[in-house]
Structure 1
Amino acid sequence: MADNDAILISGASGCIGSTLARLLHADGRALVLFGRNRESLDKLAVELPGAEVLVGDIGHADTLAGTTTFPERLAGVVHAAGICEGRPFADSDPAIIREHLEVNLVGPSELTRLALPALRAGRGSVVLVNSLVGLYPWPGWIGYAMSKYGLRAFAETLRLEEFDKGVRVTSIFASRVATPLQAKVHAQEGKEYVPDEWVQPETMARTIRTVLDTPRDAELKDITLMHQHYPRP
């Protein structure tokens, strides 16, 4: 990985993605801002001179090959895009489950596949923002849980397949992060949302930066990031 190799951030205009982009830009890193909303990405790019904008819809994986081009080398691909809607299985809707799988699993896997030549050339890292729901079952979130368990399996398999090609893979299993998505989740649960009680986007961004900056003699396989009030045994 060369210092000037780019890092692609999927979901770059979202809360975690944009926070990470600002942090890495301040470090002097080259960036590719990926997402489906060009207006939001262009607005962020104005803040971050030199950042490249790449528009694609992670929720429609079959369109990515025709719309997505990459630099020759990538130091990393960070998957920070995602959706979450709570619903128990008895009340589930196949369309909603399918959407979770497309956005949270199929899209990231296809984007990674397309980026593999650049990741191999740059001996880069794939960082997947997962969830504690990807480790432990949680009732009422069937579509989200299915997608996050799948993302975990994808990471484990990709790591084994790409290890000898120099590509590292890290999953970050995070508890609740203070983002607009978390506000929506609280509303679905009928609970008061207090952002300061949860993991801050800046903390998540710094954690991702640590993964990307880990020297080549080591690999951070899995990270579990819990908020300060998470119950402990």
Structure 2
Amino acid sequence: MSPVDRERPTALVTGATRGIGLAIARELQGDYHLLIGGRSEESTAAACAELESAEPFVADLLDDESLAAAAAALPDLDVLVHSAGISIKGSVAEVTRDQWRKAFEANLFAVADLTARALPGLRRRRGQVVAINSGSGFFTAPGNAIYSGTKFALRAFTDVLREEEREYGVRVSSVHPGKVDTDMQAEIVEHDGTTYQPELYLRPESVARAVRTVVDATEDATVEVVSVRPSRK
């Protein structure tokens, strides 16, 4: 990290090599030194190359040892954005136990583990934790039991964490986008067998601006929950 980078607050964004996570990194780059979370050195390096002040945070969030090793080298963070996640569709009758387990590992357990490891530094910096949740954290539908289950659980986690960390000055926010024009959304539409219409969805940049609003809140204020919905149906 260069001397100029050391003067910036530090933000870790998981899932920052594409989609919403990369859009968030781009939105924050003017003011933060960024840690770009991703599973491979190649993908994180490519994202870092286009950003003003960034370095890789390489970890497989589904692997305990990989996450622990990466988190052990973390500096004190001013902002931790959890954007990594997966979507698994299917009816309760057809999905498997392994699919349930994988989704909860990615969308909840990894979030909880990384947050716990980062909390000492976040407390020292009176930092912020921002979880990218989903509209599925409020509402569910047939075929969405796994994804909604993980997102309802993530909402409960952030609600509890917010109350636990008030005395330490760590602010906790939950951002709930509706359908977003990402690779994940395209995969969902393909699974459903319908036509992909990106004009009906939020742009990743719109979600990133909502995150910017959250992290720019003055220290006396916590933007606790944000819901961002597409304007068109």
8 Å CA contact 2:71–2:118 kept in 1: the answer is no
Equivalent residues in 2 for 1:20-59, closer than 5 Å: 20-25=24-29, 27-59=30-62
Instruction: After the TM superposition, list the runs of 4 or more consecutive aligned residues in structure 1 that deviate by more than 6 angstroms.
Output: none
What is the Cα-based RMSD across aligned positions, in Å?
Answer: 1.6
- 5+ residue gaps, structure 2, are 1-5
- 5+ residue gaps, structure 1, are none
Aligned length: 228
8 Å CA contact 2:76–2:118 kept in 1: the answer is no
Measured in 2, the distance between the counterparts of 1:198 and 1:115 equals: 33
In the other structure, the counterpart of 1:6 is 10
Identity, in percent, stands at 35
In the other structure, the counterpart of 2:3 is none
Q: Deviations over 1:84-140 (max 9, x none)?
A: 121010111111111100000000110111111111111111111111111112210
Measured in 2, the distance between the counterparts of 1:188 and 1:135 equals: 22
- Higher alpha-carbon deviation: 143-152 or 55-64: 55-64
8 Å CA contact 1:72–1:121 kept in 2: the answer is no
Classify the secondary structure of the residue corresponding to 2:48: helix
Measured in 1, the distance between the counterparts of 2:117 and 2:18 equals: 22
In the other structure, the counterpart of 2:224 is 221
Measured in 2, the distance between the counterparts of 1:162 and 1:79 equals: 17
Classify the secondary structure of the residue corresponding to 2:93: helix
Measured in 2, the distance between the counterparts of 1:33 and 1:44 equals: 7
Q: Deviations over 1:35-68 (max 9, x none)?
A: 2121010011111243121111112245422332
In the other structure, the counterpart of 2:23 is 19
Cα distance change of structure 1 residues 31 and 205 upon mapping to structure 2, 3 Å threshold: same
8 Å CA contact 2:86–2:107 kept in 1: the answer is yes
In the other structure, the counterpart of 2:76 is 73
Q: Cα distance, 1:73 vs. partner?
A: 2.3
Aligned residue among 211, 214, 229 for 1:211? 214
Measured in 2, the distance between the counterparts of 1:23 and 1:161 equals: 29
Aligned residue among 151, 154, 157 for 1:154? 157
Measured in 2, the distance between the counterparts of 1:82 and 1:165 equals: 27
Normalised to the residue count of structure 2, the TM-score between the two structures is: 0.93
Measured in 2, the distance between the counterparts of 1:61 and 1:168 equals: 26
- Higher alpha-carbon deviation: 134-143 or 103-112: 134-143
Classify the secondary structure of the residue corresponding to 1:202: helix
Measured in 2, the distance between the counterparts of 1:163 and 1:61 equals: 28
Q: Cα distance, 1:71 vs. partner?
A: 4.4
In the other structure, the counterpart of 2:138 is 135
Classify the secondary structure of the residue corresponding to 2:78: strand
